[in-house]
């Protein structure tokens, strides 16, 4: 039977964390009491304790984020570390990072949260609302939103007010009739993009006056009705105009769809995008009508055959093959799309590695440079389908025996 005994006044932070971890593990192992009333009381107490624990966690995250510690461990950002090492969803990682970066400005929120007087939900809502405010407006917003909490408003209602907090501040200060651009100043434009379950995206944001003028100049003419039969509303026409501009009027569009020859000739086997998203066979055939079709020869086990030349840079056909193998960067848990990655010589061009298809991988620019500077921190393995996986190991920890080929200089 294990026990925890320590003096809270003299214990180190590490001792307190270890004790909290041991207590949490023991609680998780135990069955809850049979009394519903007892469980209600315990749940209330434990939830408050959990919120205070989250306050401590946010403090730790803030320090490691400011010190860029996660970059030493091979992660491109603190949010990437929260997702891969702590197993957080994207939304939760974003929320925790906002709390960590705003806690020094939200002094009253931080103090009340640490005392157990404010829940994680309220703290996260307020932190998200003030992210793009200057210090003066942040202080004003903190007071307004905490007052709403004290008056019993739900976290959802506080979040709704948080979305229009600038207008609330202006109304309180009697400046609501001021010119909006003057009140906003020359703030940076921003866009948030959230992926939906079906592969689409929700987009929201704000553009400053200069960027808005560019937006109108580029999209305005394209967003006009195409004719009397065009029944799309303005929002739908604007989305189509944005797609047209981003694709260069279809002159620079590049979308890779992978399918069997049988699918193109009438079969029903679905095709897929490079990120694994399935495409119905009929839709793949429609895309093929106006696209270039390139054959990809595969050997046993669907391993791409030798396609390379002994030249420094990979050829276009080689890159297309690699993009079918690598939906994302070869580094484990890195989410940079393969289409935006660089072609990497797995064993290092400088060490004599040929530009052969079975010696190449796709690696994002950040990890490609990291691989070059920290070859001893990587373990490279090769899967049965020919895909390489790079695993980054912590500082001071030597990787286990490497699989062929050994880690070396980056491309």
Q: Find the mean pLDDT for residues 193-214.
A: 75
Q: For residue 106, is pLDDT > 90?
A: yes
Q: For residue 87, is pLDDT > 90?
A: no
Matching residue, tokens 């695993």? 391
In this prediction, residue 107 carries a pLDDT of 94
In this prediction, residue 318 carries a pLDDT of 76
In this prediction, residue 217 carries a pLDDT of 80
Q: For residue 143, is pLDDT > 80?
A: yes
Lowest mean pLDDT among 25-34, 134-143, 155-164: 155-164
Instruction: Return the sign of the alpha-carbon dihedral for residues 342, 348, 350, 354.
Output: negative
Contact 4, 19 (CB under 8 A): yes
At 206 the three-state DSSP class reads strand
Lowest mean pLDDT among 13-17, 256-260, 367-371: 256-260
Q: 218-262 pLDDT, tens per residue?
A: 888 778 777 666 777 888 888 888 887 776 654 445 566 777 777
For the chain, give every domain's residue range.
31-183, 257-289, 300-392
User: What mean pLDDT value characterizes the chain?
Assistant: 78
In this prediction, residue 293 carries a pLDDT of 53
In this prediction, residue 56 carries a pLDDT of 94
Q: Structure pTM?
A: 0.56
**d(C-alpha 248, C-alpha 253), whole Å:** 7
**d(C-alpha 224, C-alpha 208), whole Å:** 23
Lowest mean pLDDT among 205-209, 259-263, 290-294, 407-411: 407-411
In this prediction, residue 214 carries a pLDDT of 80
Q: 38-60 pLDDT, tens per residue?
A: 999 999 999 999 999 999 999 99
In this prediction, residue 290 carries a pLDDT of 56
Q: Find the mean pLDDT for residues 384-403.
A: 71
Is residue 322 classed exposed, middle or buried when 0-12, 13-18 and 19+ CB atoms within 10 A define those classes?
Answer: buried
Of 25-29, 198-202, 226-230, 254-258, highest mean pLDDT? 25-29
Q: For residue 352, is pLDDT > 60?
A: no
Name residue 195's beta-bridge partners: 201
Q: Find the mean pLDDT for residues 285-300.
A: 57
In this prediction, residue 243 carries a pLDDT of 80
Which pair of tokens denotes residue 346?
A: 């797995």
Q: Which residue has the higher pLDDT, 313 or 109?
A: 109
Q: Which residue has the higher pLDDT, 3 or 330?
A: 330
């Amino acid at each position: 039977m294990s026990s925890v005994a320590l003096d809270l006044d003299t214990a180190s932070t590490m001792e307190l964390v270890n004790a909290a971890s041991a207590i949490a593990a023991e609680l998780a192992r135990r069955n809850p009491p049979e009394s519903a009333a007892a469980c209600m009381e315990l749940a209330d107490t434990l939830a408050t304790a959990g919120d205070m624990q989250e306050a401590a966690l946010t403090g730790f995250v803030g320090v490691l984020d400011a010190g860029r510690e996660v970059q030493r461990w091979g992660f491109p950002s603190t949010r990437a570390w929260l997702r891969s090492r702590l197993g957080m969803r994207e939304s939760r990682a974003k929320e925790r990072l906002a709390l960590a970066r705003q806690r020094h400005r939200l002094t009253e929120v931080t103090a009340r949260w640490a005392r157990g007087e404010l829940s994680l939900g309220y703290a996260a809502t307020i932190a998200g609302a003030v992210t793009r405010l200057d210090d003066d407006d942040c202080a004003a917003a903190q007071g307004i939103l905490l007052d709403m909490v004290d008056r019993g408003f739900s976290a959802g209602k506080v979040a709704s007010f948080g979305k229009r907090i600038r207008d609330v501040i202006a109304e309180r200060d009697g400046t609501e009739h001021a010119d909006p651009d003057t009140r906003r100043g020359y703030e940076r434009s921003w866009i948030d993009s959230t992926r939906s379950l079906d592969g689409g995206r929700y987009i929201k944001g704000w553009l400053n006056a200069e960027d808005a003028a560019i937006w109108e100049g580029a999209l305005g003419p394209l967003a006009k009705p195409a004719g009397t039969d065009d029944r799309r509303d303005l929002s739908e026409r604007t989305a189509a105009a944005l797609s047209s501009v981003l694709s260069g009027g279809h002159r620079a569009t590049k979308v890779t769809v992978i399918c069997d020859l049988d699918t193109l000739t009438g079969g029903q086997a679905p095709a897929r995008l490079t990120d694994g998203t399935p495409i119905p066979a009929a839709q793949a055939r429609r895309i093929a009508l106006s696209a270039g079709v390139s054959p990809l020869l595969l050997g046993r086990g669907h391993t791409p055959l030798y396609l390379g030349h002994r030249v420094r840079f990979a050829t276009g056909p080689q890159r297309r093959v690699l993009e079918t193998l690598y939906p994302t960067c070869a580094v484990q848990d890195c989410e940079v799309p393969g289409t935006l990655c660089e072609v990497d010589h797995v064993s290092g061009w400088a060490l004599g590695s040929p530009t052969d298809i079975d010696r190449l991988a796709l690696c994002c620019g950040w990890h490609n440079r990291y691989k070059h500077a920290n070859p001893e921190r990587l373990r490279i393995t090769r899967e049965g389908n020919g895909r390489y996986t790079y695993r980054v190991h912590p500082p001071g920890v030597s990787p286990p025996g490497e699989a062929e080929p050994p880690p070396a200089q980056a491309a």
